[in-house]
Amino acid sequence: MIFACSESKKKLLELPKDWSGKEAPEWAKLSAAGQLPPLEERIPADPLVMKCGDSTGQYGGKLRRLYIGSKWAIAKLMEEFLVRYNIDGTDFVPGLARSWDVSPDNRIYTFYLRKGLKWSDGHPFTTEDLYFAIVEEALNPEFMLYGALSTAWDYERNIQKVEMVDDHTLRITLAKPNSLFLHFVASQTYRWAERPKHYLRQFHPNYVDKIKLDSIAYAQGMEGWRAYYNMQTKWHLNSAIPTMCAWVCKIPPPATRVVFHRNPYCYRVDEAGKQLPYLDEITFDLIQTPEVYQIKAMNGEADMLCRDLDFLNYPLYKKLEKEKGYRLLPWRRAEGASELLQVNITHSDPEKRRILNDKRFRWALSLAINRDEYNMILKNGLGKPRQASLLPISIGYDPEWESAFAEYDPQQANAYLDQMGLTQRDEDGFRLRFDGKMLEVVVLRGATGPSTDIELLEDYWANIGIRLSLAYGNRIYVEKRRESCDFDIFVWHMDRMTGWFGNPLWIIGGDWAQKAQDWIETNGERGEKPEGDESLEEFARLRRLWMKVQTARNIEKRNVYVQQIIDIHKEQLYMIGTVGDLPAVAVCKNGLMNVPQNVYFDDPLRTPGNALPWIWWWADEKRRLK
């Protein structure tokens, strides 16, 4: 058995006989008045017991936050999972499931729910809700709610059977063995806990006639029942939907202040048996521009922020700590490269592909970058000059990949380009293509973010005779060029380095191999077969190895295949990095307790959800009474 967990192996909390003082005062009053069930009827028989960090908290108070418009700035603080990653992604911890088992062949995953879980409206949460979320929605061919995700990491498509063994036991059988399925469950299945069947069945075509649903949708200006159903599942579009989260949305977007209030049925308790969360309310003020957002954050107008804060302002945030009454948390970003240069090996221009697909060209571009200088100018010397690669905290970390072609050696870079035969230059000293035309590397990026990085790359590459041309625009423009492979290099950031097994986007083929990836994932219906040169054929081998990683029967064999994938990256250098492993800009108001110090900011961890917001509390009594 590769993975197994059970809280029964630990000492379970002995539930108190006297529940007084174990719930928020507002719930105690409602319960005493008969307007809310008593606490012992609102929490499971085996609640999730949370260690309280520095101190056991007290109830009360509001957490003020800001957001620019993305729902993820709100949602990641709230999400619930059957199983989730721990604070740094190095292990799994229980959630709605108190325990789980995995069969020796990695095909059968069994999850054991806590007995007595309830939705925020008091209705029981059982395996029937999970079956509804997985079978009647996610695997239902009539639903296309999540888009056409890659089959290489869309683990849901490998689910063969879902069984409700009883109200608290769910068995999932996979079509093919997959030792990484728990990574998917821990990082991407928040929506499984957001589908209350008792509520959503009134909008679902399995329970209501499609014609009736369509007529309702059309009357509301929607395209049909799918759009109507989809809207009902989203808390930010429908705040009436019950939730398993610790706070319930009371005022949804697009309000200028989004408000969440404590859930009386939260299944978490502290070590003293007190129901969590401690905080009464969380608010999110909508900010119209990034500039105003930065100013408000620096002024201490939010109690805790870690998203959309400009790293270039890191020294200023540090300088203002004492004056503005906040502390800069020593969190880190789980990014193998803050600027990830993905070289397009499936370019639509054959002449460009001939150049880009020669690994010596990619080696040369990398060796021409002065990463120490780049780090000092752009990152205030706080990052680590490195290749785009896994971090030391990542499964499969290899220091040789981190340093591969990452030294500053423009002389060797020029030598590689000369070996390729790119020896002809124009009157300005820039190299020409094999067909005599100007060799220009088109770098695609979004309109947001600083341009200094591109200006530095332009200088570095000019030193080896390569002309850089920047293509940028709004999201629609960028997506159109990405989809058509109309770029030489696409700039993004190499995040997801903690739980990359659950979402191996950069490792098994991002924008750098789009057409070849499409061909593999559609069984040849779209894209181009990866053949014809070493770069593409090695990519095909990499994808075959990834399948072996998933089906490995033990960790030792799995790690052998992971290392072979990494060895391909070290040689081929499909992605070029600059600086990575940077501090995260995370500010926290003084007096907000139990906010952990050592946190990795990363999407698979659902930061700041991995920072345990359920146990945050205000030491200042005045803040608790607000």
Q: Hey, how many other C-beta atoms are within 10 angstroms of the C-beta on 515?
A: 18
pLDDT in tens, 434-489: 999 999 999 998 755 445 578 899 999 999 999 999 888 777 888 888 888 889 99
How confident is the model at residue 249, as a pLDDT? 95
- Is residue 334's pLDDT more than 50? yes
Check if the beta carbon of residue 397 is closer than 8 Å to that of residue 317. no
How confident is the model at residue 19, as a pLDDT? 77
Average pLDDT (404-433) is 97
pLDDT in tens, 127-177: 999 999 999 998 888 886 544 444 445 688 889 999 999 999 999 999 999
Question: Mean pLDDT across the chain, nearest whole number?
Answer: 91
Check if the beta carbon of residue 306 is closer than 8 Å to that of residue 601. yes
How confident is the model at residue 8, as a pLDDT? 35
Tokens found for residue 541: 């081998």
How confident is the model at residue 448, as a pLDDT? 55
Say if residue 20 is exposed, middle or buried (CB neighbours under 10 Å; 0-12, 13-18, 19+).
exposed
How confident is the model at residue 4, as a pLDDT? 39
Alpha-carbon span 132 to 155, nearest angstrom = 17
Q: Is 341-580 in CATH node 3.10.105.10? A: yes
Alpha-carbon span 3 to 139, nearest angstrom = 25
Alpha-carbon span 416 to 472, nearest angstrom = 29
pLDDT in tens, 524-553: 998 999 999 999 999 999 999 999 999 998
For the domain made up of 49-68+246-331+587-626, give the CATH fold.
D-Maltodextrin-Binding Protein; domain 2 (3.40.190)
Alpha-carbon span 162 to 170, nearest angstrom = 7
How confident is the model at residue 196, as a pLDDT? 97
Q: Hey, how many other C-beta atoms are within 10 angstroms of the C-beta on 526?
A: 11
How confident is the model at residue 347, as a pLDDT? 93
How confident is the model at residue 146, as a pLDDT? 46
pLDDT in tens, 18-74: 778 899 999 999 999 999 999 999 999 999 999 987 889 999 999 999 999 788 889
Instruction: Report the run of H or E that residue 199 belongs to, with start and end.
Output: helix 197-200
Query: Where is pLDDT greater, at 4 or 451?
Result: 451
pLDDT in tens, 279-305: 999 999 999 998 999 999 999 999 999
Check if the beta carbon of residue 543 is closer than 8 Å to that of residue 568. no
Residue extents of the structural domains in the chain: 49-68+246-331+587-626, 341-580
Q: What end-to-end distance do the CA atoms of the chain give, in Å?
A: 50
- Is residue 428's pLDDT more than 70? yes
The one-letter amino acid at 416: Y
How confident is the model at residue 452, as a pLDDT? 58
Q: Angle at the Cα of 369 (from 311 to 577), degrees rounded to 5? A: 55
* Ramachandran angles phi, psi of 199, nearest 5°: -95, -45
How confident is the model at residue 474, as a pLDDT? 76
How confident is the model at residue 154, as a pLDDT? 67
Average pLDDT (590-612) is 94
Residue 491 pairs in a beta bridge with 341
The percentage of residues in the chain with a pLDDT greater than 90, rounded to a whole number, is 77
Average pLDDT (493-520) is 90
How confident is the model at residue 164, as a pLDDT? 98
How confident is the model at residue 149, as a pLDDT? 41
Q: What is the DSSP letter of 390?
A: -
How confident is the model at residue 194, as a pLDDT? 92
How confident is the model at residue 52, as a pLDDT? 85
Grouping H, G, I as helix, E, B as strand and the rest as coil, residue 575 is strand
